[in-house]
Chains A and B, each alone.
Chain A
């Protein structure tokens, strides 16, 4: 039985991932302190505001640089969802996660260097990066410049609406992260996917791989 390394994530992508994760965790925490200062009074409200703003601008800049990287490196194609086989692929994944995973079945998707994200991942990230993140950025910027942009934000309900939208989206981010972290444990070992994002590659057992392919 031989093994080989399947390179899935470049150093830049891993850096992007972990920095983004740290920024999002920081934003969620400081955001919680800002929203519930009485419950989280052990952390300074004023500092939280500053840190939250700094992290938000870092995340924004980080997202822009990542977008530049993904476009110029061609890796943006990893997030492309093809219509053909969409329903079939989704059904297979649902069946796998709701039944096959308990029976020791092989995951219906096999990552490769050209196509490393399964259909559910691609759909989740598409929603996350194209809907949720922009929503947070836009609502955050409007909140940050509420005084200067009051003519813009008043017709849409002003700060009460913006802050609730921002908080609601933060809750979705938090929920996603819980789900995301859980799904990282569904590899061959609990830490397999996490380690892949650390070192960049998966170690593939050739024999096992053949078996999977035969199945």
Chain B
């Protein structure tokens, strides 16, 4: 009776709320750091003070890996020597390039303050200096991410969360000309006691769009999906994944043979799943399931789950996660998420597939269910020279033309299949990935190796908005007095020497070009039905999908080599070869411990078999011939 009553009440509240265009969350008082309503003080919003009345904000900020960003976590074995943590705060990334410097670094690149100003992909709090955990970034339906980034960039971290709320419509946070108070509050949106009026702020559980602000392109059914390259669309940039229920053929991207692509960008999105369906709070009552590592063997299900009020007071913000190649942060949470098998019974639907168990043992579901990506992904980043905007040379796979050109033809790309560690099975399961190769200068001082700082690259290679004359002299092949396009490649010894001399001239110690390959595993952009890889011959053939050569870099800086980044969960089984100036990875499934019927075979059995067959054929032919001759001779006698 009580449960039925509660359910009815919840439904009624939901209906009333939906009808009035409001969420279930009660209206809040926006408070400043002193706990006073901001509408009265005009001070920036303090998220901890504002939310703390109902939620344990201090707890949320303290344990939250999105906020802590790896601070205090040790690096993994194989990490770069200059990495300070496995997270955004300390793990160098060649795509963003800037490096967080340790306290005693004599050649500082990024201080924590400068790191905070960069802002991108960090929710505040944790190691951020002067920028609180920004609850609004994930919990309002119309955050202004750009305004937040501008505030951070301007060193106004205290105003970052306030800036985020400036996206609310109708607007109640309005830009101001006062540099000390860049935002002001519209009193008309507030009740006399400081509470926001109904409808002013839609607080909610995070939507896909909230996640997409930092994680990549997501789109609702009515949103326009356009070609968008750049690290602000992180997952899309690194993997080509777009999380949307829209049919690919309906997008605004110029995709090759688009009319054939009647599938959604991601089937899970089409089936109404959102990011939080899988990446939910670890203690969410409706999704909680104790991990097998900690669950007593005799217990199938622990019924002692939190009540909703307990959960809402202290929602665990360490969201469940898988074990991606690129995700090195908070390893303790790896595999806490339900993977495909957690929801789907593959055995119930793969009747056409022979040797089901064997295939499931050898492959992650994604290998067949993400056969191709239809947005371009980063292939290479070359920081050995920068353009006049101080940007690296970037190339994409699956794209013909310029990433900035919305009409550029997107051909899409087939991911490379790599064996992934961390599975209990042997051999390791094969999974689809993108590989991004980065070229950059390493500064060497004694035993210390660090990437050359961006400030030094600028000083060495640029004078104002032009390249340094020494570089122009060495690299300007068309003689137009400027360097652009392929001229910015250090593909000969002379060009490398010229760039190296410039770096030494600005104080970079013993610069050497280094190359790194970063794997990005693919788990979104999932297809179903006829868009799935189903043909046996796709893998069980000489030209197997599993060993398709994968271009790592369209050119190689002279004398440079590239190695797989050390702290990842995949290995490059196969060989990296130079082909016509390109760098290509040729996977070898045998080396990875997989024997693919119809693709792999050792020559020994066939060689011995052929030799014995040849011997027998020669024997019977010779013997038969002699018999024939003997019979003729006898007949003639």
Contact = CB atoms under 8 A, between A and B. Distances in A.
Interface string B340-370: 0000000000000011011011000000000
Chain B CB within 10 Å — which of A49, A158, A171, A186 has the most? A171
Contacts of A185: 624
Contacts of B600: 160
Given A159-B595, A164-B605, A102 B613 contact: no
18 contacts: A34-B597, A34-B598, A37-B542, A38-B598, A45-B541, A49-B536, A97-B623, A102-B627, A103-B630, A147-B360, A154-B426, A163-B601, A171-B612, A175-B613, A179-B619, A179-B620, A182-B620, A182-B623
Interface in B586-637: 590, 593, 595, 597-598, 600-602, 604-606, 608-610, 612-613, 616-617, 619-620, 623-624, 626-627, 630, 634
A74 to B, nearest CB: 33
A134 interface: no
Secondary structure of the A contact surface, majority rule: helix
Quick one: which of A36, A53, A146, A175 has the most chain B CB within 10 A? A175
B141 to A, nearest CB: 47
Q: What class of interface size applies to chain A in its complex with B? A: 35 or more
A164 B608 CA distance: 11
Q: Which of B427, B597, B608 counts the most chain A CB atoms within 10 A?
A: B597
Contacts of A50: 354
Given A102-B627, A167-B605, A172-B609, A160 B537 contact: no
Contact of A148 (B357, B606, B624): B357
A147 B358 CA distance: 5
A35 B597 CA distance: 6
A104 interface: yes
Chain B CB within 10 Å, residue with most, of A35, A50, A53, A104: A35
A147 B357 contact: yes
Contacts of A97: 623
Contacts of A103: 630
Given A38-B541, A150-B361, A160-B600, A171 B354 contact: no
B534 to A, nearest CB: 10
Interface of A: 34-38, 41, 45-46, 49-50, 53, 97, 101-104, 146-148, 150, 154, 158-160, 163-165, 167-168, 170-172, 174-175, 178-179, 182, 185-186
B630 A104 contact: yes
Interface string B520-539: 00000000000000001100
A175 B52 CA distance: 82
A147 B605 contact: no
A102 B626 contact: yes
Contacts of A45: 536-537, 540-541, 598
A160 B541 contact: no
Given A104-B634, A147-B357, A178-B620, A35 B598 contact: yes
A44 to B, nearest CB: 8
Chain B CB count within 10 A is highest, among A103, A160, A170, for: A160
Contacts of A175: 609, 612-613, 616
A11 B591 CA distance: 52
Given A41-B537, A146-B358, A167-B605, 18 more contacts: A35-B601, A38-B543, A45-B536, A45-B598, A50-B354, A103-B630, A147-B357, A148-B357, A160-B590, A165-B605, A167-B609, A168-B608, A171-B605, A171-B612, A172-B612, A175-B609, A179-B616, A182-B624
A178 B624 CA distance: 13
Interface string B30-42: 0000000000000
B535 to A, nearest CB: 8
Closest 4 CB pairs of A and B: A171-B609, A147-B357, A38-B542, A102-B630
Contacts of B624: 182, 185
B602 A160 contact: yes
A168 B607 CA distance: 9
A45 B604 CA distance: 23
A163 B426 contact: no
Contacts of A154: 426
Contacts of B616: 175, 178-179
Given A38-B541, A171-B612, A49 B354 contact: yes
